[in-house]
Amino acid sequence: MRYENLYPAATVKTFKELRKWRQERARKMKAKDYSFTIPSVPPDIAYLKGNFREPSLTWVGHSTFLLQHSGLNIVTDPVWAGQLAMQRRLSPPGIPVEAMPPVDVVLISHSHYDHLHIGSLRQLSGGKTLIVPAGLADKLRRKGFSSIIELNWWEAATIGGVRFTFVPSQHWTRRTPFDMNRSHWGGYIIESARKMTGLNGGGAGEREHAQSGERVRPAAGLSPTVYFAGDSGYFDGFRTIGERFAIDLALMPIGAYEPEWFMSPQHVTPEEALRAFLETGARWFVPMHYGSFRLADDTPREALDRLEAGRAKLGLAPERIILLPHGETWRLNG
């Protein structure tokens, strides 16, 4: 089976276009300034290993976060690799993989190597359950992982009182020359199962379909609703996701967008990320997918400068955009 975007016209570029970009890049990258690196702070390992009550978010780097939610340790798109293909990591991970607390749930947005690194996944301790897009479970079972839940768009699984809903994005997948779009791609809504209305509660691993209608509103004292957007070009699905969920915190990509003629079907620009953030109705925006690898022609400084210029143009309050250093823990109830 091959998977498609909601708007099939938004397809990956041809090999001819890829060659054109590579030729442009060989000239352009010589003039790029990579002297700026993402700030980092020493992680509070003692807090992270002892915290079972307070919701918190720690940026490891790229699209990898440690989210502590309702007593669970949740990791998104785990990549601790020091190098991907020919690209060396620009900044070290915010938490060394050996210092990570035991992991309960791993969320995989799609199969690209900068979002699913098998070596990193194996190094994570704990009885981790992997929640993955449709079409990816068999591949991971062959790699030796056994606790896997596979979801299609709008399906959900509940583990330990947290509901994970797999939502659409606009992207594509491939890990080998032979598996183009053989597994799906998307993002996740992470929320307390107790705050749901219109969906029946369920036990661990339950699979459900999200319903359209009024946004689900959080009950007092519950952990915030988090939207992990994965990897995506701009599409109308952001608005649909915002209509279905009351999102507190959006983790949105802002990097790997240049050249836009080549990248736009698969990666948002910083300005498009801001537009998507507003359409989701989220309270806070945490940028990701920048500063770790040279995946495209933009630099971390360029992405942040465009994000700030776009924020000012839209008149968004500065405190709504949370620029996390690598390794810093944001205590979400603080």
Tokens of 231: 């990897």
Evaluate if residue 134 carries a pLDDT over 80.
yes
Sequence-distant (≥ 6) Cβ neighbours of residue 248 within 8 angstroms: 218, 224, 225, 226, 282, 283, 284, 332
Closest CA to 291 of 102, 35, 78: 35
The Cα–Cα gap between 269 and 255 comes to 7
Contact between 172 and 235 (Cβ < 8 Å): no
The domain ranges of the chain are 15-32+40-331
Query: Which pLDDT score, from 0 to 100, does residue 208 have?
Result: 56
Tokens of 259: 């050249």
Sequence-distant (≥ 6) Cβ neighbours of residue 291 within 8 angstroms: 37, 38, 61, 62, 90, 91, 255, 300, 303, 326
Which of the given ranges, 44-48, 194-198, 258-262, has the highest pLDDT on average? Answer: 44-48
The Cα–Cα gap between 234 and 273 comes to 8
Residue 16, SS3?
A: helix
15-32+40-331 is classed CATH 1.10.1740.10: no
168 φ, ψ to 5°?
-70, 155
Average pLDDT over residues 139-146: 96
The Cα–Cα gap between 320 and 334 comes to 15
Query: Which pLDDT score, from 0 to 100, does residue 26 have?
Result: 64
pLDDT, tens digit, for every residue of 179-218? 888 999 999 999 998 765 333 333 334 555 444 334 444 4
Angle at 184 (CA atoms; ends 180, 188), nearest 5 degrees: 145
Torsion of the alpha carbons at 251, 175, 137 and 73, rounded to the nearest 10: -30
pLDDT, tens digit, for every residue of 224-253? 999 999 999 999 999 999 999 999 999 999
pTM summary value? 0.91
Long-range own/partner contacts, residues 21-30 (CB < 8 A, 24 or more apart): 21/259, 21/262, 24/259, 24/297, 25/297, 28/297, 29/294, 29/297
Helix (DSSP H) and strand (DSSP E) numbers for the chain: 8, 16
Residue 214, burial from CB neighbour count under 10 angstroms (0-12, 13-18, 19+): exposed
Average pLDDT over residues 58-87: 95
Buried b (16+ CB within 10 A) or exposed e, 112-130: bebbbbbebbeebeeebbb
Reduce the secondary structure of 65-133 to three states and give it as a string.
EEEEECCEEEEECCCCCCEECCEECCCCCCCCHHHCCCCCEEECCCCCCCCCCHHHHHHCCCCCEEEEE
pLDDT, tens digit, for every residue of 283-320? 999 999 999 999 889 999 999 999 999 999 999 999 99
Angle at 61 (CA atoms; ends 59, 65), nearest 5 degrees: 40
Evaluate if residue 6 carries a pLDDT over 60.
yes
